[in-house]
Structure 1
């Protein structure tokens, strides 16, 4: 299966490391013009170096609708949007009674509101040309539970899955597909490295034993599913959530 994105304009959020960087590299290596967005400017510059000259970096907080609306139109007629920005914003699992309003909201801002604001910004151009791909990156936490016990993260990712299904039906008449990749646990960034270490040897062994393939995946495994959803091969697939987790 030869997948090419020659001439396509792509946005990847949360592209300063991990999944987002691997996804950006996947598109760039297949001929796309890629706009990578994140709040981490240094990480973005490293991503651009790895992707090559057809990639540009943009510091963006996707949780700010005003900032999104200001930046995205400058990219022109975007063909593909990958909503990868997310994470736990440095939080760890705590009892429900200890969670402040700010703790709750900041995770929703990046994981759910950001995906909505970005989709909202690209929809007019996609509707105009009656074509487009939107791929959201959720998590196994949105389907089941958060391994780290972070209530807002599990809730926001579940909400993003609901948003995927809703937008698939709203945008489908314009030949815009909306799909979702739900990764399992992957050691892909400083946060997941800390989570892995915190599990200890016993917890790590237990996690691996609960995976059918008995091993962890890599960011490239997630990027591969995104490439498929974004390709012409997935033209009649929409509203779907695919777990890329080694089998559960």
Structure 2
């Protein structure tokens, strides 16, 4: 199966590092025009020069709308949106009693609000074309308790799964598919590398032993799945959560 996205324009959030970078490269490699979106303008400078870059705080409705409008103006259309922005926002697990409102809200802004506001802004452009793709990057933490131990992260990823399913129902009649990829433990950025390094060797082996493939994931593993969901071949798949986790026992 050859995936050809020539002539399509995809906006990718969280494009400054890790999984987002890999998805940008994968889409571009399949012929798509890619617009990168991230709060980290400096980080996006590492992307291919052919990729347009749109810096914004996507957790803000106004900023997300501005960035999507900029993408549409720059490229004349939007055919798809990949919401890879998120993560733990530099936080680590702590007891329930110690969680502060600002910590909780920061993770929801990055993981849920950004996807919601970008999808809201992109929807009219996709509807105008009578078809489109929205792909969210959730997590295994959206399906079960998180290895991070961060309450807000688990709750936010569960919320993102719910948002994905709701948008699939709403946007399906307009020809727009909405799906999510739920990665397992992927060493794709400094936060996930710190998380892995914080485990004892015994805990690391336990995690690997509980994974059918006996290895951690890569950003490219997730990008391959995103590329398929972005393709014509996935035109009758919507409202689905695809676990890309090497198999979890």
Q: Same fold (TM over 0.5)?
A: yes
1:20-68 per-position Cα deviation (integer Å, ceiling 9, x unaligned)? 00000001111111111112222211023xxx42x11121111011111
1:3-24 per-position Cα deviation (integer Å, ceiling 9, x unaligned)? 0110111111111111000000
Alignment of 1:219-234 (within 5 A): 219-234=219-234
CA distance in 2, matches of 1:192, 1:100: 22
1:211 aligns to what? 211
1:93-136 per-position Cα deviation (integer Å, ceiling 9, x unaligned)? 00111111111001000100110000000001111221100000
Aligned mate of 2:71, from 69, 75, 97: 75
Note the C-alpha offset of 1:202.
1.1
Unaligned runs of 5+ in 2: none
- Write out the 4+ residue segments of structure 1 that deviate beyond 6 Å after TM superposition: none
Query: Are 1:12 and 2:12 counterparts?
Result: yes
SS at match of 1:162: helix
1:152 aligns to what? 152
Indicate the RMSD between aligned Cα atoms, in angstroms. 0.8
Unaligned runs of 5+ in 1: none
Scaled by the length of structure 1, what TM-score is found?
0.97
CA distance in 1, matches of 2:245, 2:232: 24
SS at match of 1:136: strand
2:93 aligns to what? 93
Scaled by the length of structure 2, what TM-score is found?
0.96
* Equivalent pair of 1:136/1:180 in contact (CA under 8 Å): yes
Note the C-alpha offset of 1:74.
2.3
Note the C-alpha offset of 1:200.
2.1
1:163 aligns to what? 163
* Equivalent pair of 2:171/2:177 in contact (CA under 8 Å): yes
* Equivalent pair of 1:17/1:47 in contact (CA under 8 Å): no
CA distance in 1, matches of 2:128, 2:27: 23
- How many residues align structurally? 244
